[in-house]
Amino acid sequence: MLKAENVSFRVQDKTLLHDASVECRPGEFTVLMGPNGAGKTTLLRLLAGLYQPSAGRVLYHDQPLSSFSATELAKSRAVLSQEIQLAFPLSVADVVLMGRYPHFQRSPSAHDRAICAQTLAELGMSHFADRDYSTLSGGEAQKVQMARVLAQIWETPPQGHRVLLLDEPVSSLDLRYQHQLLQLARDFSRQQAIVVAVLHDINLALAYADKIVFIKEGQIYDTLPNPDELTAEMLEEVFDLAMCVITNPLTQRPLVIHASADMR
Ligand SMILES: Nc1ncnc2c1ncn2[C@@H]1O[C@H](COP(=O)(O)OP(=O)(O)OP(=O)(O)O)[C@@H](O)[C@H]1O
């Protein structure tokens, strides 16, 4: 279990997140949603241990996240950030291999390379292995970064569960790959991994999330353990848009349609 207990995060005199509590369980795909600047990335980075809470605590397997060493964490917790810039030229294969850095000393084993080849294949990117990463399109680069984080936590550690934290992982992907990547993330959670993703598309969240956490103005507005119970009223409050929840004729699941705030 990965758990935030009453966490707050302040920078100088500004509170970016206030008193947030969330529980992310193995086997579960949790989605964080909310308006721009609400605090989603801040919460994800707190869950990752990349930020230290100003108040409250983050627990991983019932122990403070801060009690784990960086190397220990890197073997079981991977983070896909929004913008990734490389300072020097690398091939796609080398970028994916970066995910294996916590697992080898001087040079990667055949096993490390095999895992990287497999994750690149999972993302349909094998044929890009030798390409200069800097020449990739935004969507291609996003798929390669997903292959990198999957390679990092491909194997379950002897104790505990793997944690995959994804910040807007489909922002550059076409519709088909948005579904493919989220399917992959959900399948990954089903191997008893903890998966948390920040998404902006409520319909994708509804299609893939086991739990949706809504964040607004630096606070958790609501947590929906069953996304099918989503109401238009709640969405209107969070996003300040006119919303309607209908049934998707293709899936028979809830589908959200929206219009400008003037329609409310
Ligand atoms: N280092 C910082 N100093 C001051 N303000 C910051 C800092 N980092 C983030 N913020 C502010 O904190 C707020 C929350 O940021 P965060 O990145 O968590 O939002 P978000 O919900 O992920 O937004 P988006 O949907 O736009 O990505 C924003 O208003 C942001 O400008």
244 CB within 6 A, ligand 1: no
**Rounded distance, CA 203 to CA 109, Å?**
41
Determine the atom of ligand 1 nearest the C-alpha atom of 35: 25
Q: What is the pLDDT of residue 169?
A: 95
Q: What is the pLDDT of residue 264?
A: 65
Beta-bridge partners for 245? 256
User: What is 2-230's CATH topology?
Assistant: Rossmann fold (3.40.50)
Q: Which of 40, 168, 196, 199 to mutate to test the pocket of ligand 1 (most atoms within 8 A of CB)?
A: 40
By DSSP bridging, strand 194-198 and strand 28-33 are parallel
By DSSP bridging, strand 163-167 and strand 194-198 are parallel
Tokens 């292995």 locate to 129
State the ipTM, two decimals: 0.97
16 CB within 6 A, ligand 1: yes
In angstroms, what is the span from residue 40 Cα to ligand 1's centroid? 8
In angstroms, what is the span from residue 120 Cα to ligand 1's centroid? 31
14 CB within 6 A, ligand 1: yes
| Nearest alpha-carbon partner for 32 in 170, 188, 212, 234 | 212
257 CB within 6 A, ligand 1: no
Tell me how crowded residue 166 is: count the other CB atoms within 10 A of its CB: 27
- And the tokens for 26? 């193995």
Determine the atom of ligand 1 nearest the C-alpha atom of 16: 12
Where are the strands (E) in the chain, listed by range?
A: 2-11, 14-24, 28-33, 55-60, 63-64, 77-80, 163-167, 194-198, 211-216, 219-224, 242-247, 254-259
Q: What is the pLDDT of residue 259?
A: 84
Asked if residue 78 lies in contact with residue 152, where contact means CB atoms within 8 angstroms, the answer is yes
Q: Which regions of the chain carry the CATH code 3.40.50.300?
A: 2-230
DSSP, res 171: T
In angstroms, what is the span from residue 108 Cα to ligand 1's centroid? 37
Q: What is the pLDDT of residue 54?
A: 96
Q: What is the pLDDT of residue 42?
A: 98
In angstroms, what is the span from residue 38 Cα to ligand 1's centroid? 7
41 CB within 6 A, ligand 1: yes
Q: What is the pLDDT of residue 234?
A: 93
User: Diameter of the chain by CA atoms?
Assistant: 61
Which one-letter amino acid corresponds to residue 86?
L
45 CB within 6 A, ligand 1: no
- And the tokens for 89? 């030229």
Q: What is the dihedral of CA 203, 208, 209, 214, to 10 degrees?
A: -20
Which SS3 state, helix, strand or coil, does residue 242 take? strand
**Rounded distance, CA 218 to CA 16, Å?**
5
Tell me how crowded residue 2 is: count the other CB atoms within 10 A of its CB: 24
**Rounded distance, CA 133 to CA 91, Å?**
5
Tokens 């990954």 locate to 188
106 CB within 6 A, ligand 1: no
Tens digit of each residue's pLDDT, the chain (264 residues): 999 999 999 999 999 999 999 999 999 999 999 999 999 999 999 999 999 999 999 999 999 998 999 988 999 999 999 877 777 889 999 999 999 999 988 899 999 999 999 999 999 999 999 999 999 999 999 999 999 999 999 998 877 789 999 999 999 999 999 999 999 999 999 999 999 999 999 999 999 999 999 999 999 999 999 988 899 999 999 999 999 999 999 988 899 999 877 766
Asked if residue 211 lies in contact with residue 30, where contact means CB atoms within 8 angstroms, the answer is yes
Backbone angles phi, psi at 203, to 5 degrees: -70, -35
